[in-house]
Amino acid sequence: MSETAQAKGAYRFDKDTRRYHRFVVKIDGGGLGTLYLPKDMKPLPKKLTLTYQEKNK
């Protein structure tokens, strides 16, 4: 991946599990995912920055 493509989106609270807050992540252009953050993480981040990491071969 030599290109530096970027995507923006948002995440919103979905529900709590026993140990985590569950969020739905929606990326502009169609991406969708789930993010779990520990309940003891305080404060919860208002903004996330993710960097792609290739799988080790």
Position with higher pLDDT, 1 vs 25: 25
Q: How many domains does the chain have?
A: 1
Residue 14 belongs to some domain of the structure: yes
Q: Residues 6 or more apart from 36 whose CB is under 8 A from it? A: 17, 20, 21, 22, 23
Residue 17 belongs to some domain of the structure: yes
Residue 34 belongs to some domain of the structure: yes
| 56 confidence band (pLDDT: 50, 70, 90) | confident
The residue range of the domain holding 34 is 9-38
How far apart, in whole angstroms, are the C-alpha atoms of residue 54 and residue 57?
Answer: 9
Q: Give 4-50 pLDDT, tens digit per residue.
A: 788 899 999 999 999 999 999 999 989 999 999 999 999 999 999 98
Residue 23 belongs to some domain of the structure: yes
Residue 51 belongs to some domain of the structure: no
DSSP for 1-57, written as a single string: --------EEEEEEEE-SSEEEEEEEETTTEEEEEEEETT-SSPPS-------PPP-
pLDDT for residue 4: 76
23, 11 in Cβ contact below 8 A? yes
Q: pTM value?
A: 0.78
pLDDT for residue 2: 57
